[in-house]
Amino acid sequence: MLKKTFTLVSAAVLSLLLLSGATNAVPFPVDPNFFMPFNEDVGVAEGGDPVTAEFEFLASEFTNLQFLASVNHPVGGDPVPFGVLGLTMTWFVDNVFVFAHDITDLSGAYNGPLTFFHALQTGETGKIVLAGNFAAQGGGWSLTVSAVPLPPAVIAFGTAMLGVGFLARRKRKKKEVFS
């Protein structure tokens, strides 16, 4: 009985140590300059100008990324007085097309913010291209990119599965000894 209690307490302490270490870790270091919001707002003077924006970075280690792209202050109407017409975001990995998504159509109708996730392997280069045209009275867009860390719950689950496997193996060995 004492041995069983000691084993359970040891497993609980090990799980707590791993869990607390995982919450403070930064498991996916990448270029910190890329993880920030990018914005562009223009007024009447630049209305009608094209939107041309490219953002590129190199992942120094395996990295999970979250992207959020949207139009600032979308205004409806015919024609759209303020906003971005035909705003499209295109995602490339190592100069290979992955996907494109229309955030607004050519009339300026806003399809809502685009959120997507993508993982980059060590040494891969990701590139985002935003293209469209500002409405006659101006408009704006924003893009936010951030790293998504491995949740501590995954590490705790993995530790628990190792413990279950260990206990099952121990039980199987006991049966072999007595048979």
3-state secondary structure the chain: CHHHHHHHHHHHHHHHHHHHHHHHCCCCCCCHHHCCEEEEEECHHHCCCEEEEEEEEECCCCEEEEEEEEECCCCCCCCCCCCEEEEEEEEEECCEEEEEEECECCCCCECCCEEEEEEECCCCEEEEEEEEEEECCEEEEEEEEEECCCCHHHHHHHHHHHHHHHHHHHHHHHHHHHC
For the chain, give every domain's residue range. 28-149
Which residue type occupies 92? F
At 27 the pLDDT is 42
Using the Cα atoms of residue 18, residue 21, residue 23 and residue 28 in order, give the sign of their dihedral.
Answer: negative
At 179 the pLDDT is 61
Q: 28-149 in CATH: which number?
A: 2.60.120.380
At 6 the pLDDT is 61
The CA distance from 98 to 120, in Å, is: 12
At 7 the pLDDT is 66
**Tens digits of pLDDT across the chain (179 residues):** 666 666 666 666 656 555 554 444 444 445 554 566 777 888 777 777 888 888 887 888 887 888 888 888 776 666 667 788 888 889 999 989 998 888 888 877 788 888 888 888 888 988 989 898 888 888 888 888 887 766 666 777 788 888 888 888 777 777 776 66
